[in-house]
Chains A and B, each alone.
Chain A
């Protein structure tokens, strides 16, 4: 418990965008809409490129659990349903936080998430998902 409280800040997930994206702040609903395909464009007007962080640290699981309180299996079946209707597509899947950072740094309309303590100055935090 003690270590959990101490490391609370470290476990936070940060939603990040390109520093040139023109987006400063997002609401939770905006984040949900973007990552679950309802909203396809960023507030700036660019078509959003969403990135899911898979990999061993299970940030993706944490992210969806905290954002919409869903298991990954549910999210997957959700996307599977949409896949057959031909409407929208799931976020791009990457394995490492660095990849996320790379994509976001190099793509103005990209949006992803990593552990807060891994965020650096190349990207901009627009929403914090607390533990």
Chain B
């Protein structure tokens, strides 16, 4: 508030008033002076007229008698007045008397001035005994310097009076303005400067007499404003407190959530993340003190994967989800589901959940769907899916063979009937292991149902190998099978084989030919195999 340019209102008001007073004073002085001079001139003329009135009679007698002596007396008498400079009395063309005050500078009287009627006061003189007869004239020349000095004296006096009056008015106005306006305003300003308005304290009137005037109004208005400001401040404070509470709530949710929440920019830089993110990282064996600086930490540092996901989120402008497999330092597998949503132009919110349990359950369920629960090998669905995959991938290579073998257990029904289902199950499990032992790990084994199994082999260089597998199976299955409680069971196997060489073939075709071959094998008697041939 205290600036170097501050100018006191009192000073300025005073200066203004003084300036106006000076101006008005000068105008009045000039006017008064002019007026006084005019009046003085008029007064002097009146005086001259009166002088002429006084001497008129004597002068007219002098003219009547052409009496130079008398005329001289008259003119001398007139000259004794200061304002008279020159007197001429003449009758017709005869000069009776002429008198002049000697000018201060030497020079004498100039005759020519008589010819200037404007400078002279002229009066015709009539005969004292006959008003109709003009006997002469008297010319009077005023002393203009004397006149002027008299006028100036009068004007000076008037001017002094005016100045005194104007000064008195001016001083009064200054005092009144200072007392009634500027001083109270200064008081208000001073108390306003130190007023603790934020505490709701109000401003006092500078004086009781201002309660009802404009300054009182100003104070009232300021107080009204203070009250409003204070109430606004309180409102604001309450709002801030409420917001802080809300923020704490959200912060607490953010901090305590089991779900990892983070913000990431377009370049994959982590802007912030909650403790759950850290927990997730810990779960996959990252060091707890490692700062999660980039979202690629969730993607096994695979920049491409992250970039793709962010791009997809930008492009489709909607949430993008992905399950990510994380490999921990201990080799353990974890699954994390990441959902990215765009919240600002280049800021994305990510939600990370550990979905390992769900993922494992899913995998288990998937596995159960394609696995024969009893033997652990593929069931019909699993086998068909895998077979189709293999067939899709096979390229036509004429030097390799592939084969599908359908295997039916002989005498299984008898084992079931004789020893019960548990024994049957043992037999089935035993056979499944036997099949696994008979083929390469890459070959497909499945149980189609009951005592019906299936086997798919490919990349066989000679067809004899297929037959050898079949022979092996038949040989091995003939061995007595331990079915518990010291008992053994004996079964056999009939095998139908569909054999192809390096061409693409459909599943239906394979099964159809294998079926046909199986039928032939059964016809030939049990414990044998048969390869499908076109010429049957």
Interface residues of A (CB under 8 A from B): 29, 32, 36-38, 67-70, 78, 81-82, 85-88
Which of the 9-residue segments B62-70, B357-365, B384-392, B474-482 touches chain A? Answer: B62-70
Q: Please indicate the chain A residues that have their CB under 8 angstroms from the CB of B73 in the complex.
A: 85
Known: A38-B64, A38-B65, A87-B65. A78 touches B128 (CB 8 A): yes
B455 within 8 A of A: no
Whether B69 pairs with A85 at a CB distance below 8 angstroms is yes
A37 to B62 alpha-carbon distance, docked (Å): 11
Chain A residues with CB below 8 A from B491, complex form: none
Other than A87-B67, A87-B69, give 18 A-B pairs with Cβ distance below 8 A: A32-B129, A36-B64, A38-B64, A67-B129, A68-B129, A70-B129, A78-B61, A81-B61, A81-B70, A82-B61, A82-B65, A85-B67, A85-B70, A85-B73, A87-B65, A87-B70, A88-B65, A88-B67
- Whether a CB of chain A sits under 8 angstroms from the CB of B130 is yes
Contacting A at CB under 8 A, from B120-134, are: 128-130
B129→A36 contact, CB < 8 A: yes
User: Which A residues are CB-close (under 8 A) to B128?
Assistant: 68, 78
Smallest Cβ distance from B135 to chain A, in angstroms?
A: 9
- In the assembled complex, the CB of A78 is this many whole angstroms from the nearest CB of chain B, namely 7
How far, in angstroms, from A69 to B58 measured CA to CA in the complex? 18
**Quick check: B65 and A37 within 8 Å, CB to CB?**
yes
Least Cβ–Cβ distance between B488 and chain A, in angstroms: 201
Q: Which of B130-166 contact A (CB under 8 A)?
A: 130
28 A-B interface contacts by CB (under 8 A): A29-B130, A32-B129, A32-B130, A36-B64, A37-B65, A38-B64, A38-B65, A38-B66, A68-B128, A68-B129, A68-B130, A69-B129, A70-B129, A78-B61, A78-B128, A81-B58, A82-B61, A82-B65, A82-B70, A85-B67, A85-B69, A85-B73, A86-B69, A87-B65, A87-B67, A87-B69, A87-B70, A88-B67
Describe B's contact surface by its main secondary structure.
helix
B130 proximity list for chain A (CB < 8 A): 29, 32, 68
Chain B residues with CB under 8 Å of A29's CB are 130
Contact residues in B for A69 (Cβ distance below 8 Å)? 129
Chain B residues near A38 (CB-CB < 8 A): 64-66
Task: Tell me, in angstroms, the Cα distance from A6 to B367 when the chains sit together.
Answer: 188
Closest to A75 in B: B129
What string of 1s and 0s marks CB contacts (under 8 Å) between B44-75 and chain A? 00000000000000100100111101100100
Residues from chain A with Cβ under 8 Å of B129 in the complex: 32, 36, 67-70
Q: Which residue of A lies closest to B135 (CB)?
A: A38
| Alpha-carbon gap, A36 to B64, bound state (A) | 9
Q: Which residues of chain A are near B70, meaning CB under 8 Å?
A: 81-82, 85, 87
Q: Point out the residues of chain A lying under 8 angstroms from B69, CB to CB.
A: 85-87
Query: Shortest CB–CB separation between residue B347 and chain A, in angstroms?
Result: 130
B92, chain A: closest CB distance, angstroms: 14
Q: For the complex formed, measure the closest distance between the CB of B91 and the CB atoms of chain A, giving whole angstroms.
A: 11
Interface centre among B58, B65, B69 (most CB of A within 10 A): B65
Q: Interface digits, B253-277 against A, CB 8 Å rule (1 contact, 0 not)?
A: 0000000000000000000000000
Chain A residue with Cβ nearest B67 = A87
Which residue of chain B is the closest to A69 with respect to CB atoms? B129
CB closest residue in chain B, given A64: B129
Q: How far is the CA of A70 from the CA of B61 in the complex (A)?
A: 14
Beta-carbon contacts under 8 Å, B472-529 to A: none
Report how far A47 CA is from B327 CA in the complex, Å: 175
Most buried by A among B61, B69, B128, B129: B129
Looking across the interface, which residue of chain A has its beta carbon closest to that of B62?
A: A85
Closest to A36 in B: B129
Bound: A70/B58 CA distance, A: 16
Residues of chain A within 8 A (CB-CB) of B65 are 37-38, 82, 87-88
Q: Specify which chain B residues have a CB less than 8 angstroms from the CB of A70 in the assembled complex.
A: 129
Instruction: Give Cα A115–Cα B193 distance, bound, in whole angstroms.
Output: 115
**B128 closest partner in A (C-beta):** A78
CA distance A37 to B61 in the complex (A): 11
Shortest C-beta distance, B459 to chain A (Å), equals 181
Q: How far is the CA of A32 from the CA of B69 in the complex (A)?
A: 21
**A70–B131 CA distance with the chains assembled, in angstroms:** 12
B240 to chain A, nearest CB (A): 117
- The residue on B at minimum CB distance from A77 is B57
Distance between Cα atoms of A98 and B454 in the complex (Å): 212
Contacts of A67 in B (CB 8 A): 129
- Chain B residues contacting A37 (CB-CB under 8 Å) are 65
B contact residues around A32 at 8 Å (CB) = 129-130
| Cα-based distance from A36 to B61 in the complex (angstroms) | 10
Name the distance in Å between B449's Cβ and chain A's nearest Cβ: 184
Which of A68, A69, A78: most chain B CB closer than 10 A?
A78
| Bound: A102/B357 CA distance, A | 187
CA distance in complex: A91, B520 (Å): 212
- Please name all residues of chain B whose beta carbon is closer than 8 Å to the beta carbon of A81 when the two chains form the complex: 58, 61, 70
Give, as a whole number of angstroms, the nearest-CB distance from A67 to chain B: 8
CB-CB < 8 A to B67: which residues of A? Answer: 82, 85, 87-88
CA distance in complex: A29, B64 (Å)? 12
Which of A29, A85, A88 has the most CB atoms of chain B within a 10 A radius of its CB?
A85
Chain A: minimal CB distance from B349 (Å)? 135
Question: Which residues on B sit within 8 Å (CB–CB) of A87?
Answer: 65, 67, 69-70
A69 to B128 CA separation, bound complex (whole angstroms): 10
Distance of A82 Cα from B57 Cα, bound (Å): 12
A70 to B70, CA, bound (A): 21
A69 to B73, CA, bound (A): 27
With both beta carbons as reference points, the residue of chain B lying nearest to A40 in the complex is identified as B65
Q: Shortest CB–CB separation between residue B400 and chain A, in angstroms?
A: 182
Q: For residue A67, which residue of chain B has the nearest CB?
A: B129
Identity of the chain B residue whose Cβ is nearest the Cβ of A28 in the assembled complex? B130
Of all chain A residues, the one with the shortest Cβ separation from B64 is A38
